[in-house]
Amino acid sequence: VAVYGAANTIGPLVGGYLTDHWGWQWVFWICVPIAAVAALLTRIAVPNTRAPAAPPWHPGWVLVAAVGLGVTVYGVQRLPFAPGLGAVVGMAGAVVVIVFLRAQRRLRDPLLRVDLFGDRGFSAAVGTIIVSAGVTLGAIYLTSLHLQNDRGWSASATGLVLLWQAIATTVG
């Protein structure tokens, strides 16, 4: 959560500066060197905890999970514009996700250990993280839209305003 908060601190500031000076595309290009540094630091600092034998790879189930999540998200995104279509597409995606989850329970070496969600503490922690991250991202998104579109602020000025929320998340 501290890394998430730190990224929320740095992201709006750097993203605002890049957007104001070089265009919005640069918020994606800046990720390339950051990812390279993160990969290097991971290689150096994270100990090897591999299992003695590699678990089997299930590319078909990876595809099923990706399709289910993608279709569900697409359906939810369509809800404001085409409620009927969005609901049908979202439900179809949810059905695919349910098929994936049920299949994972039966596999000897699943991609996702669904049984972990039977632990109330684990489920509560995951639920809390999902809800708090969703609320935080929604608030950041709507606040930045309001400040830039309605108030006419620059991306850099908006990043400075959002800085305090991110610092609070990092410290918390």
Question: Residue 48: phi, psi to the nearest 5?
Answer: -75, 120
Question: Residue 53: phi, psi to the nearest 5?
Answer: -120, 135
Q: How confident is the model at residue 1 (pLDDT cuts 50, 70, 90)?
A: low
- Coil vs helix vs strand at 135: helix
Name the nearest CA neighbour of 97 among 109, 122, 114: 114
Q: How confident is the model at residue 124 (pLDDT cuts 50, 70, 90)?
A: very high
CA angle 14, 15, 18 (to 5 degrees): 85
75-119 confidence digits (pLDDT tens):
999 999 999 999 999 999 999 999 999 999 998 888 888 889 889
Mean confidence (pLDDT) of the chain:
88
How distant, in Å, are the alpha carbons of 62, 75, 89 from that of 112? 10, 23, 24
pTM given for the model: 0.59
Q: How confident is the model at residue 66 (pLDDT cuts 50, 70, 90)?
A: very high
